[in-house]
Amino acid sequence: MMRRRVLLCTVALLLALSTATPQAAANKEHQQMMAELRMMQQQNQLLQAQLAALTDVLKSVSVRLDEQAGTSRKAFADQKLLVVTLGADLRVVREKVDETNVRLTSLSQEVDAIRTAPAAVAQPAPGTVPTGGVEPPPAAPPAAPAGFGASPSKAFETARNDYFSGNWPLAIDGFEGFIRSFPKSDMADDAQYYIGETHFAAGKFPLAIAAYDKVIATYPASNTLPDVYYKRGLAQQALGQSPQARESLEYVIKTFPTNETIVGLARQALERINRSIKK
C-alpha cells in the first residue's frame, strides 16, 4: 500500500515537472523576442535621427551650391565684361601703334632722302666764261614743286610727311597738287581724305567736313570711307552738331560692321555724345 502511494506521488511529480518545463521555455523565448523587438525599435529610432541629420546636411549643401553658382555666374559676367572692355582698349592702342609706325616710316624715308640728296653744284654767273674758255651748258630748269615730276607715290609721301610733321599749309598744297597732277591715281581718294585730316588736325572743322564730304561725293568706292564718316562725325561733334554727328557715327556702325576697330571707336564716340546730351 505504501509503495503504491509513493509510486503515485512520483508519477504526479513527473507530470507536474513535464508541464512546467515547456511553459518556462515559452516564457524565455517570449522574453527574448521582446528584447529583440526593443533593440530593433531603438535601431529604427537611431536610423531616423541619422536620416534627419543627413537631410539637414543635404539642404545646407544645396544652399551653398546655389550660392556658389550665383557667385560663379556673377564672376563670369564680370570677367566677360572686362574682356570686352580690354578688347576695345586694345583696338584703340593698336590703331595708335599703327599710326605711329606710319609716322616713323615716313620720317625715316624723309631722313634718308635728305641724306642721299646730291649737293648743289655752283654755277658761274651768266655771261662769264670759265678758265678753260668753254661755254658752260645751260642751267637746268627750276625743279618742280616738292615731289611732283617724280612718281605719284613719291609726291604723295612728300605731302604726307608734311602732314605728319605738322606743316599744315604745305601738306594741303601737296595733297591738292597731287590730285591735280594725278587725278586718276589710286591714291587720289587718300589725298582728298588727308586734306580733311589736315584741316581736322589744325582745328578747322568746317573745312575738314567739306573735305570729307568731297571724298564721299567724288570717290564712293574709296577704302577710306569708314574713317571719313567717323572723322566727319567727330568734326560735327566738335562744332556742336550732335544730330549730324550721331547720323555719321551710326552710319559707320550700320554700313561697316566688319571693321571692328572703326566701329568700336564710333560706338565710344556715340556714348560720349549721349552722355553729354544727358548732362
Structural contact between residues 196 and 215, judged by C-beta atoms closer than 8 angstroms: yes
The pLDDT tens digits along the chain (279 residues) read 666 666 666 767 666 666 656 666 677 777 888 888 888 888 888 888 888 888 888 888 888 888 888 787 877 777 776 766 666 566 556 555 555 554 554 455 455 555 554 443 334 444 444 444 444 444 444 334 444 555 889 999 999 999 999 999 999 999 999 999 999 999 999 999 999 999 999 999 999 999 999 999 999 999 999 999 999 999 999 999 999 999 999 999 999 999 999 999 999 999 999 888 776
Angle at 198 between CA 174 and CA 267, to 5 degrees: 140
SS3 content of the chain, % helix, strand, coil (to 5): 80, 0, 20
Candidates 262, 191, 198, 260; CA nearest to 233 is 262
Q: What is the DSSP string of 169-220?
A: HHHHHHHHHHHHH-TTSTTHHHHHHHHHHHHHHTT-HHHHHHHHHHHHHH-T
The dihedral built from the CA positions of residue 123, 124, 125 and 128, taken in this order, carries a sign that is: negative
| Total residues found in the chain within this entry | 279
Structural contact between residues 102 and 272, judged by C-beta atoms closer than 8 angstroms: no
Collapse the DSSP code of 11 into the 3-class scheme (helix H, G, I; strand E, B; otherwise coil) and give the result: helix
Structural contact between residues 234 and 203, judged by C-beta atoms closer than 8 angstroms: no
Structural contact between residues 216 and 227, judged by C-beta atoms closer than 8 angstroms: no
